[in-house]
Structure 1
Amino acid sequence: MPSRCHIALGSNLGPSVDHLHAAIRAIHGLGGTRVIASSSLYTSPPMAGMKQPDYTNAVIAIDTTLDALELLDALQEIEQAQGRERHLRWGARTLDLDIISYGHQCLNLPRLTVPHYGVAERAFVLLPLFEIAPHYQFADGRQLTSLLAACPPQSLTQVPDSIPDLSGTSQA
């Protein structure tokens, strides 16, 4: 039985929109996985006042038969294939893929925490998630609408006409 998961995507190096679209196609191509919905793209400033280019962000919903760590490994392989280097926390990157939710599970593993530990402070995740799942409730019981209402103000701009092309993928 597939698990419904939400993945946050971000990029601020190189052709960010292209990186996100390529990542969505690669995720859809994973065995036992299909993308079922994708938010628009949004631009946002980097976290913690880092001096770097603005990010382009999105959230997708997937159904997958991969277990949580298999999914994490697959996402990290996609990041690496697109030139991701891990040098500095919150540093600039070609691609960042975070598992925001995994089914109706709360996970606290050495390599993975779900719901994602920083989701409540990240409007660049909450707003795109709201776009594709407005009534979402996290596995720990928190309501998306409550988190979004309490989220610290952040500058987000929707990229016009930016819903990724999911032709060839099923949408629910």
Structure 2
Amino acid sequence: MDKIYIRDLEFIGYHGVFEEEKKLGQKFFVSLELTTNLREAGLNDDITKTTHYGEVAETVKKIFFQKKYDLIETLAEDIAREVLLNYPLINELKLEIKKPWAPVGIPLKYVSVEITRKWNEVYISLGTNMGNKKENLEKAIKEIANIKDTFIIKESEIIETEPFGYKEQDDFLNSCIGVKTLLAPREILKELLSIEKKMGRERKIKWGPRIIDLDIIFYDKEVIEEDDLVVPHPYMEYREFVLKPLEEIIPNFVHPLLLKRVSTLKKELENEKN
């Protein structure tokens, strides 16, 4: 991808933990590296096909002066969020804030923080086999759409499937959605667990009945292995109720560990069943 650089925007600000920093002020420099696609703008000499760096600079200025921050880490997060939300052609950004007059007590050039933030594509499997199943799915999707800095970009049809594992229960309704989000993996997991709890999810029987089940299948192409968060979702390649709706919305997505397309995984599972 291409880059736009905005280097060392200079401001006098009142950010810092010490009271003197909030009264006297000090110099700060803010730099951004914006990841985007400049091809169409370059070929057509068309400013509407690119990101106006002057407007980005004004956005940085607005956030910089909106309040007095204790931490430049928090200031960096707020600037990054505002830029990504307001300039849709920017896929990712790297942001550095330099603080040359930091009260360290030792001569230095500057103290700085640097963060990288971007839009992430997350694919979520939904399932339910209690109560009004269709309404459960619709409610869950509505709740996901209300998650901060998260937007639904793809949605599969609803399918009916037989229960997996524990058979003495009603059939399921399943679907998959894709979202675009600024949230980190653990943050999106927390939101999904909160929705499950809000809707009355109880974990009593393994693979048992549930009013709603929300699982992260893919988070970009990341591989995450933690005690309570494993991505891609383990054993998804054996579950038709995941693969069938997932193939509908991302057939050519390549599983980062198995190195196979979703459509290939679904076909292999169908062949095994036959």
- For this structure pair, what is the TM-score category when the shorter chain's length is used for normalisation? 0.7 to 0.9
Deviation per residue, 1:99-131 (Å, 9 max, x gap)? 000011011011111110020011111110111
Which position in structure 2 is the counterpart of 1:163?
A: none
Kindly tell me the number of residue pairs found equivalent between the two proteins.
Answer: 154
1:136 CA displacement: 1.2
* Structure 1 moving runs of 4+ over 3 Å: none
Could you list the runs of 5+ residues in structure 1 that have no partner in the other structure? 155-172
Deviation per residue, 1:22-76 (Å, 9 max, x gap)? 1111101100101101000000011125200000000000011111111111001
Q: Is the 8 A contact 2:127 2:213 kept in 1?
A: yes
Q: Whole-Å Cα distance in 2 between the matches of residues 126 and 61 of structure 1?
A: 14
Q: Whole-Å Cα distance in 1 between the matches of residues 134 and 210 of structure 2?
A: 13
1:18 equivalent in alignment to 2:135: yes
Which position in structure 1 is the counterpart of 2:273?
A: 153
Q: Whole-Å Cα distance in 2 between the matches of residues 153 and 43 of structure 1?
A: 17
RMSD: 1.3
Higher mean C-alpha displacement, 42-51 vs 30-39: 42-51
- Residues 54-65 of structure 1 mapped to structure 2, 5 A cutoff: 54-65=171-182
Which position in structure 2 is the counterpart of 1:160?
A: none
1:78 equivalent in alignment to 2:195: yes
- Residues 21-170 of structure 1 mapped to structure 2, 5 A cutoff: 21-140=138-257, 141-151=259-269, 152-153=272-273
Higher Rg: 2
Q: Whole-Å Cα distance in 2 between the matches of residues 22 and 94 of structure 1?
A: 11
1:142 CA displacement: 2.6
Q: Whole-Å Cα distance in 1 between the matches of residues 128 and 206 of structure 2?
A: 14
Q: Whole-Å Cα distance in 2 between the matches of residues 144 and 131 of structure 1?
A: 9
Could you list the runs of 5+ residues in structure 2 that have no partner in the other structure? 1-117
Residue 98 of structure 1 aligns with an amino acid whose one-letter code is D
Greater RCO (CA < 8 Å, at least 6 residues apart): 1
Residue 80 of structure 1 aligns with an amino acid whose one-letter code is K
Higher strand share: 2
Q: Whole-Å Cα distance in 1 between the matches of residues 205 and 149 of structure 2?
A: 32
Residue 54 of structure 1 aligns with an amino acid whose one-letter code is D
Q: Whole-Å Cα distance in 1 between the matches of residues 230 and 166 of structure 2?
A: 24
SS in 1 for 2:165: helix
SS in 2 for 1:79: helix
TM-score, normalized by length of structure 1? Answer: 0.86
SS in 1 for 2:135: helix
Change (3 A) 1:71 1:9: same
Q: Whole-Å Cα distance in 1 between the matches of residues 126 and 248 of structure 2?
A: 14
Residue 216 of structure 2 aligns with an amino acid whose one-letter code is I
Residue 223 of structure 2 aligns with an amino acid whose one-letter code is C
